[in-house]
Structure 1
Amino acid sequence: MHQGLYLVTPDWDDTDQLVDTTRAALHAGAAMLQYRHKGASPSLRREQGAALLALCRRYNRPLIINDHIALCLTLDADGVHVGGTDASVAQARSILGPGKIVGASCYGDLALARAAQRDGASYVAFGGFYPSRVKQYSFRTDPAIITQAKAEIALPLVVIGGMTPANAAPLVGRGADLVAAISSIYTAEVPGAVVRAFDVLFAGQRKSCAKQGGAV
């Protein structure tokens, strides 16, 4: 999986607006896209999912569907993301098979991450770390969980919750592989500029990995 910005969509009913802003973010270098619209009707969900999948195929980026395994299968999207009240990781993996991405929300709970890894998750997501304009968390996740998870979870780590380039920096410094963001991109005057600011956070990690890969 890529390192960088993991773009998550807002609850926008205007498909053209959603696609236009997402296109700008993908063009600027967003690494992955998750389609998440909690209030969409089934028909709107199919319409928007199909439009976003076409966009992701153009930019060669994976499209992950939040919650809806059936929609992932219908569209042949790249995978799903499941949370605490959705289908389990094991269920999603059983239905989708080994070739799809299955992401898991683990909040601030390392035990959930261990279970997700055991059950076949492709990545684990921790958060929220900061106050979010989209999702109200009843808790705050301690950044130390990233260090702990890197020591024992052999999966990419995603961080979420009120992410901006500035407050994501220390989390990337601890080893986060992807930063999930909604509002900081979709409400920005120039979404691409914010994407590039996130991308800069990972430049040092990529150089380090390149050096390690080229070592004899």
Structure 2
Amino acid sequence: MLDKSLLKGLYVLTDATLTPDDTLLEQMERVLKSGVCMIQYRNKYASDEEALKQCIRLQALCDYYEALFIVNDRLEIAHEINADGLHVGMDDVSYEEARALLGRDKIIGVSCYGDVQRALHYEALGADYVAFGSFFASPTKPNSTVVEHSLLKEAKAHLKIPICAIGGINQENIVHLHAHDVAMYSVISAVYKEDAIEENIKALYQRLE
């Protein structure tokens, strides 16, 4: 049984540019050693064969560190490797299809952008967490629409499942979201900058204290 109490804190995503294949495993082990208990494989450019290889290794790594491993969008891979879960967005495989294949015990998160009604819909269907954002301009998703921070207050008032904030979050601005007491903060570039993963994660967690 997966430990869904781990749906909290920093939620670190991989990135095709910032975590290239040849250093991906080493970088993610450093992330997990730094206390992060949930990571997501997100690479829209890798072939299915490449993604499968990396996801097998990352799931094993997360098992070793007793962390959760989530695959972005690639349902067949998540199913094949028995991943801990899947994250889906508006243009990805549907939540319903993912839940039917993966079963009730797996974690499925849904991107809800700036739409609380969308989040309530998927909460009712059984989603394990929902993600809102971007809350800041994102260097890894430059075309994302920025949403108001006040959305989190509305979301907290209506949702019972964990809420994840995404988009351009770094050491300087994470405190503005922390005021809303959301469960998870999705981070990418803020973790990998200057190849100082351990120091970056420590600094982010200090901001959340």
- Whether these two folds match at TM > 0.5 is yes
How many pairs are equivalent?
Answer: 203
Counterpart residue type for residue 165 of structure 1: Q
Partner of 1:73: 79
Partner of 1:99: 105
Does residue 60 (structure 1) correspond to residue 99 (structure 2)? The answer is no
- The answer on whether the counterparts of 2:192 and 2:200 sit within 8 Å (CA) in structure 1 is no
State the 1:14 CA deviation.
3.8
CA RMSD of aligned residues (A): 1.4
State the 1:138 CA deviation.
4.5
Within the candidate set 163, 181, 199, 1:175 is matched to 181
- The answer on whether the counterparts of 1:29 and 1:199 sit within 8 Å (CA) in structure 2 is no
Identical columns (%): 34
State the 1:57 CA deviation.
1.0
State the 1:40 CA deviation.
0.2
- The answer on whether the counterparts of 1:107 and 1:126 sit within 8 Å (CA) in structure 2 is yes
Counterpart residue type for residue 61 of structure 2: L
The list of structure 1 runs, each at least 4 consecutive aligned residues, that deviate by more than 6 angstroms after superposition, is: none
Within the candidate set 107, 111, 115, 2:117 is matched to 111
Indicate the SS of the match to 1:180.
strand
Indicate the SS of the match to 1:7.
strand
Partner of 2:128: 122
Partner of 1:196: 202
- Larger % of helix: which? 1
Q: Matches of 1:201 and 1:16 in 2, distance apart?
A: 31
Check 1:148–1:52 CA distance in 2 against 1; reply closer, same or farther (3 A cut). Answer: same
Q: Matches of 1:187 and 1:170 in 2, distance apart?
A: 21
In structure 2, stretches of 5+ residues that fail to align are: none
Does residue 9 (structure 1) correspond to residue 14 (structure 2)? The answer is yes
Within the candidate set 149, 152, 161, 2:167 is matched to 161
Q: Matches of 1:175 and 1:94 in 2, distance apart?
A: 32
Given the two structures, how large is their TM-score scaled by the length of structure 1?
0.89
Q: Matches of 2:61 and 2:131 in 1, distance apart?
A: 24
- The answer on whether the counterparts of 2:138 and 2:144 sit within 8 Å (CA) in structure 1 is no
Counterpart residue type for residue 116 of structure 2: L
Q: Matches of 2:99 and 2:207 in 1, distance apart?
A: 31
Counterpart residue type for residue 33 of structure 1: I
Q: Matches of 1:88 and 1:115 in 2, distance apart?
A: 13
Per-residue CA deviation, residues 48-94 of structure 1 (Å, 9 max, x unaligned), is: 11111111111110000000111011111100000001122222212
Partner of 2:36: 30
Check 1:196–1:43 CA distance in 2 against 1; reply closer, same or farther (3 A cut). Answer: same
Per-residue CA deviation, residues 153-175 of structure 1 (Å, 9 max, x unaligned), is: 00101011111022111112211
Given the two structures, how large is their TM-score scaled by the length of structure 2?
0.92
